[in-house]
Structures are given as structure tokens and as C-alpha cells.
A and B are shown apart, each in its own frame.
Chain A
């Protein structure tokens, strides 16, 4: 089985050394600014001049570009094409293909949305690449996030590949008993009903057992939790967080003022 169930790539870089909460604030600020800024090219420029340099500084340029090209670009590109073609409303027709007409205004709007989606996803990818999920959760728990909440997030992140593996096992088992899972979509959809039972019922029993297992490890203890990993929070971290917060407030205020 895959030994690496998280995106995280360990490197010795200044970005990795930042406190996880600082990175979360950084990513949130980037996304917030990118999504609200009025400029047509803002999101694009932010990817080029903020995210790419950050990836370079994290010594993860190759990994970041890889994910961007293989996952994010196809997603954003698909949305761009679909919206350009199917959403009507522009006046300046660029070309017409039968009953479909593509207008300049829609293309521009679609590009804006696609570039923002690109920014949004890639900022999170960068966060996940440079931040160990359990450190992020430990840090947030230490800052007051309820441990149950952190637990749900992190175990969900981990459990997805597990569920996939289990579904595969059940499918293989059903197929060996004659279940046809390879013909047409609708036929398959109907025949997959037998899969739901074991997956859901199995999961309920598992949920109970897992609840017992984490209770047995004192999860609901009322004592103040401690953390295995020391997660540094330097004055530089605090400075960055305050600067970003201030920056967002000022840019919001300026926008309200000017509009």
C-alpha cells in the first residue's frame, strides 16, 4: 500500500520553516485578495509573481508545476471552455459554430473565473506541499480549534485512499460472484447496489470500533493536551501574520472607500 498518503514533501526551506498557521493565513490572504481584486490580470499575475516564486523558495518548483499542469490546468481549462461556449450574454461575437456563438465578453469573464480558480487551488496545493497536515492540525488545536474538528478533517484526508482500496476489494469480491461491473453505465449503476451495503454497513461498524479505539487512547480526556512535535512560532511569523491581516484590511477599506 502507498506509504505516502499526504501531499506533503519535506524540504529544508524557509517556507517549510514557517509556522503552519502563518502559511494558512498567507494562503487565505492570497486567495482573498485574488478573488476580490478588480483587475482582470490580478489572479494570473499573482500565480506568476507570488505562487511560482514561493514554490521556488520551497524547493518544490518541479512538484508544484507538475500538479499545476496535470490537475489544476485541466480543471480550470475545462471550466474556461465550457463557460465560454455555453454561457450566453455577450454582444461582440468572435465566431459562430452552428447554433453556438462565442462572444468576447463571455470569454473574458470565463478567463477571469478560471484564473481565480487556478489561483485558489494552487495556493492550497502549495500549502499542502509545504505543511505537514498533522502539524497544521496540532497547531490549530493548540490555538483553540476543537480537537474533534481537527480529528475529523485529518482522518478524512487519510481515509479517502482507504475507502478506494476497500471499494476495489468489494468490487473484486462481487465480480468473482458474477457481478457485472464492466458493461454500460446504467446497467452498472443498478448492479452496483450490492456494493453499497458492505461499504456503508461496514463503515458504521468501523466507525463504532474506531470511536472505541480513540476513546481507549484518552481522546476525550479533559487534561490539557500536549504535542509530540514542537511547532515553532517565531516573531517573524507573528510579523508576517499581522502584516498580511493589515494588508487585507487596508485593501478592503480602500476598495470600499473608492467605490
Chain B
């Protein structure tokens, strides 16, 4: 039995006709880093909400099939218990600030207060989590005074401190500048290297190619492709469907039709492209 197990998951938002997710079957092993890609409206966010228990506990509607993490099922558990199974970080860093706390340290402790962690343990866990994500120096700042990248790392730390079994991220860098993006991806990579199971919706394909173990392409609520980053990100199947495609892949694909790309597979990153063209 895999760590994360989705079996025949179909979901419709309330008052909608077409399902946002259709017959999703997905198994993720412990420690795997899976990236979800897909055009707008493909169902990436919906899948993230489903993994994190917000479908069906927060968004009502019609869910069939089963969602299982570490042997527990979402529909047999309450949302506030489920947050210890799967932690969710989403796009807008500002809206993830609780608004109830005056310092970053307090903000990160908020979740632990809610689940009743004793004070001494709470402090140790908050400090440790901040060290891990490299934000110890922000401890006494107001969460509102931070840059987007810093706020998103605070949001990430606030979830990590609760020690969820799976980390679910919905385009965590889509509203950040390049510096913020690098900071946040740095933290996510650290977590993945420490063996955390990570499922991340993301459209920055070059980052995915560098980080993820596996990529799943979603299209109109269904899984279109599931494989290694190279297989999926360079597949011709993604063409003309609105997927984000690496410009290096596009260049090499074009070069291939002109006989200028001689390698078997197509590149995703600048390095691979440079390498491929050098030997051409």
C-alpha cells in the first residue's frame, strides 16, 4: 500500500456540471517529490485541496472514490485532524498570514497552540522549524512587514512546524519575484532532501526538471501523463493544450525538425540544451 493513495477520485464543485477531477488514480511513495503541471483550470488546485482534505470538508460538492494518506481516509476523518496528515501551502503569501499574531515567532506557533502542544515543546519546535527554513532572523518582525518571499517562507514554516506527513503546495511561488522564488524553492528542496513527501502544483518547468522525482500532467481534470520529469515535460502529447513548455525544449524541438538536434530526447533546462547543442 502506497503512502498516498487516490482511487477513482471524481469531484464536482457545488452547482457545477463538469467534474473538476475525473477518475484520478494516483499512488505516491513515502519520500517522493511529485510535481503537478497543467493549464489553467486543469484541476491542480482542486487536487491539492483534495489531498489536504479541504475537498470534501471545506468545499462541499460531490466526491466519489477514496483519498488515503498514511492509512487514513479523508472522508473518515475531520479536517482539523487531517491537517496533521497533509499540510497545505498555497499561492498568495499574504492571505496565509493568520492575522492574529504580531510577530513571526507567534505566527509560526499559532498552529501548535491550536493543537495543544505544550509550551516548552512548542518553542523548541518553532525554533527548529525556523532554523530549517532559514528565517530565524525574522522571529521578532511583524509578518506584515516582510517581503513576499519571506512571507511565503513563514507560511511554509507555519505548516512544517506542525509536522504533516505530506507537504502539499499549490503554486507556492506564482506570486513571487525571482529572488523570492529562489528562496522558497530552496526551502522546499531542503525538505525533499530530508525525506519529506512533497506534492507540488507548479508551472515553472525548469525548476521542476531540477527538483522533482516525478511529474504528473493534468488536463481537464484527468491525468494525461505520469512519469519522470524528462519524459513528461518533453512529451509531444503536451503540445497545443496550454501546458507551460520549457523554451529550451521548444528550441530543441524546432532544431530537431531542421536536423540540428541529434540527441534522442529533448532538453528541459539550459544546461541540457547547451550540452546537446555542443555535441551536435
Which positions in A face B, CB cutoff 8 Å? 1-6, 132-134, 137, 150-151, 154-155, 158-159, 162, 206, 209-228, 230
Contact = CB atoms under 8 A, between A and B. Distances in A.
B83 A212 contact: no
B113 A225 contact: yes
A6 B101 CA distance: 11
A212 B119 contact: no
A155 B117 CA distance: 23
Nearest to A220: B80
Given A1-B144, A134-B106, A214-B98, A209 B84 contact: no
Contact of A227 (B87, B96, B113, B145): B113
Contacts of A227: 113, 119
A206 B99 CA distance: 12
A217 B162 contact: yes
B112 A226 contact: yes
A222 B84 CA distance: 13
Interface string B49-81: 000101000100000000000000000000111
A2 B80 contact: no
A216 B100 contact: no
A177 to B, nearest CB: 22
A228 B92 CA distance: 26
Interface in B206-246: none
B142 A209 contact: no
Nearest to A224: B116
5 contacts: A154-B100, A158-B100, A158-B144, A162-B144, A228-B106
B19 interface: no
Nearest to B103: A134
Given A5-B142, A162-B144, A217-B111, A230 B100 contact: no
B109 A228 contact: yes
Interface string B143-159: 01100000000010011
A227 B119 CA distance: 7
B33 interface: no
Contacts of A220: 79-80
A204 B186 CA distance: 32
B102 A221 contact: no
Contacts of A212: 54, 58, 88, 90
A6 B102 contact: yes
Nearest to A159: B99
A6 B99 CA distance: 12
Contacts of A210: 95-96, 98-99
A1 B143 CA distance: 11
A154 B99 CA distance: 7
A229 to B, nearest CB: 8
A127 B96 CA distance: 29
B101 A134 contact: yes
Nearest to A4: B142
A220 B116 CA distance: 12
Q: Which of A214, A221, A223 has the most CB of B within 10 A?
A: A221
A13 B90 CA distance: 42
A221 B116 CA distance: 9
